[in-house]
Amino acid sequence: MSTRQLALSILGSNQSRNRAKLVLVATAFVAALMAAACSAQHLFPTVGNNTRHLAAAQKEIWVTSQRDSSISILSFPKGSLLGQVTLPSGTQPHIITFHSSAFAYISGMGNGTLNVVDANSRQLVKTLSFAPALCHQGKVSPDGTTMLVSVISNQTLYKVAVDEANRSWTTVGSLSFAPLGKKPVCTVFRADSKRAYVSLMPSGIAVVDVPSMTILGTLATDGFIACGMIKPSDDADHAVIASGGSGGHIYTLNMTNDTLVDRGTLGAADWHSFNMTPDETRGFGTSPLSDEIVTIDLTTQPVTKLGTIPLQPIPGTGNNQPDALGGGQPIVDGTLPVGLRSAGQVALIDAGSLEIKGFIPITSPAPPGTFSTMTCIGCAVHGVTVRPF
């Protein structure tokens, strides 16, 4: 109903020579009421003790403050603070992943736990303990029934049965990589959820049969892959991956025949994480020690380094250290969030224009030398993941 129609209903059917004037006054009055209601909804979007998202369609970025054992929740893509989740002291949250929008899966590098947080109430609902430290990532399968959890400290990949509808998560199996002399880092699944590809430290990928939790084979890579294994969609039959050797080494992982296609090297000053646009035309990598984002043309063979984007809200090379680029999904809505592990900030980059949209302070900086560059233990900010809606 329009404001004019609502005003007429208020006036009823009374006739008067001033009717036209009254309609104008009533219309303005109703419009003012509706504007006030809308403003109130935006000014006071709170439920309980947690600031909530303004509308179901609005996306969020979940950011791990690893040193502080807390999660900051920002609006996406604007980056305004919506709320926080405080985890037990010493958790040191590292990476956040989602299957649906209902639950966040948060790895604890400090205490070896995988933490399940209800993303709506923002309450911790389940903690799975695997080791004294270095739980790196939990990743749920496309069908939503299985989560694989990588634990570096004991070289083990754990299998967890997942039932989000009934809020149930149960460890049901494990696979040790000790016989290979390797440590599991991150996982990407084949579309049918029956096969997983697990990046290994110091190098390589293990091909894992998920039902039996056995290793079917390994693939050699130039250095290790720090969660830079990106599928354009959950039902895709391939992933673009980036290992840390040679200043960034790009491959395409074919999940139909379990092979790697070498896409070339980038020669960056340093290397950590990778992400790409959903159409697979442009890639991005982090070079922490040079405070840069490396931009990549993925349409060529070999791939082409387009250039770099300096990220230095704090002056001085190495005082910012861009690190994580997401939770394993391709770039959302054309905006790339970047965690600056030393600066304690999140950078937002336009993936089309390559312009820096802004820097968002999350916590106080962690100066170089005060944290581990390998595990990020003690770093200010690490994971930056867009919550799906």
Q: Is residue 47 part of a domain?
A: no
Q: How many other C-beta atoms can be found within 10 angstroms of the C-beta atom of residue 109?
A: 27
Same domain, 156 and 288: yes
CATH number of the domain enclosing 230: 2.130.10.10
- DSSP per position, 207-222: EEETTTTEEEEEE--S
Q: Is residue 176 part of a domain?
A: yes
Same domain, 35 and 132: no
Same domain, 124 and 254: yes
Same domain, 218 and 338: yes
How far apart (Å, rounded) are the C-alpha atoms in residues 106 and 125?
Answer: 12
Same domain, 185 and 114: yes
Total tally of structural domains belonging to the chain: 2
Same domain, 112 and 27: no
Q: Is residue 322 part of a domain?
A: yes
Same domain, 137 and 13: no
The radius of gyration of the chain's CA atoms, rounded to the nearest angstrom, is: 24
Contacts of 257 (CB under 8 A, 6+ apart): none
Same domain, 28 and 163: no
Q: Is residue 82 part of a domain?
A: yes
Among the listed residues 274, 292, 70, 289, the one whose alpha carbon sits nearest the alpha carbon of residue 188: 274
Same domain, 154 and 31: no
Same domain, 297 and 359: yes
Q: Is residue 141 part of a domain?
A: yes
Same domain, 20 and 69: no
Q: What is the pLDDT along the chain (389 residues), one digit of tens a residue?
A: 444 443 334 334 333 334 433 333 333 433 443 343 333 333 333 332 333 333 445 899 999 999 999 999 999 999 999 999 999 999 999 999 999 999 999 999 999 999 999 999 999 999 999 999 999 999 999 999 999 999 999 999 999 999 999 999 999 999 999 999 999 999 999 999 999 999 999 999 999 999 999 999 999 999 999 988 999 999 999 999 999 999 999 999 999 999 999 999 999 999 999 999 999 999 999 999 999 999 999 999 999 999 999 999 999 999 999 999 998 999 999 999 999 999 999 999 999 999 999 999 999 999 999 999 999 999 999 999 999 98
How far apart (Å, rounded) are the C-alpha atoms in residues 356 and 341?
Answer: 17
Same domain, 9 and 131: no
Domain residue limits at 354: 52-387
